[in-house]
Amino acid sequence: MSNDTSHKFQPRPPVIAAILIFMVTVSFAVMSQSGVLRVGGVIRHPHHTTTTVDTSGATTPRNQVLVQVANGTKKLGLARFETQQLAAQGWNMLTGINGPRVGRTTIYYKPDYADAAATIQKFLGSGSLLSWTGPSPVPGSGVCHILVVVGPDLAN
């Protein structure tokens, strides 16, 4: 009998194949739970629609409404992602920023921008609307009409 026992610890090809299939299955399950799905190279977000929301009630055209997104979660790049999504809908977007951690998405709007804020809320599929008359609720935000503080409800 030989002292070389290294051959006993090498898995057979069917075992390797089973491990690889398991890893791919788990990876797919994790990605599908993340809330971001890549279809044909385009990122699709479950809280977004590719159709344009009716703005017949809005008093100001989208390109004249200054909107800023603040990331209120630990998920990196979320403000940038949501900024791009809203820009694609025609909103005049300021650069995304980091905000304080929040429990739910909140959409702050200045007087005369309630209709625009409601349109953004419909597009996002989430968020509480709050009138904003005082100082900015997020330090470092720019001069905007609507401030979206993205919470974990949109991070998934």
Residue 25's CB is within 10 A of a number of other CB atoms, namely 10
Residue 8's CB is within 10 A of a number of other CB atoms, namely 6
Give the pLDDT of residue 12. 78
Contact (Cβ atoms closer than 8 angstroms) between residue 86 and residue 115: no
Give the pLDDT of residue 1. 52
Q: If you classify domain 62-155 with CATH, what class do you get?
A: alpha beta
pLDDT digits (tens, 9 = 90+) for 90-146: 999 999 999 999 999 999 999 899 999 999 999 999 999 999 888 888 988 879 999
Q: What are the extents of the domains in the chain?
A: 6-39, 62-155
Tokens describing residue 122: 């419909």
The residue-averaged pLDDT of 7-36 equals 62
Tokens 């209120």, residue located: 72
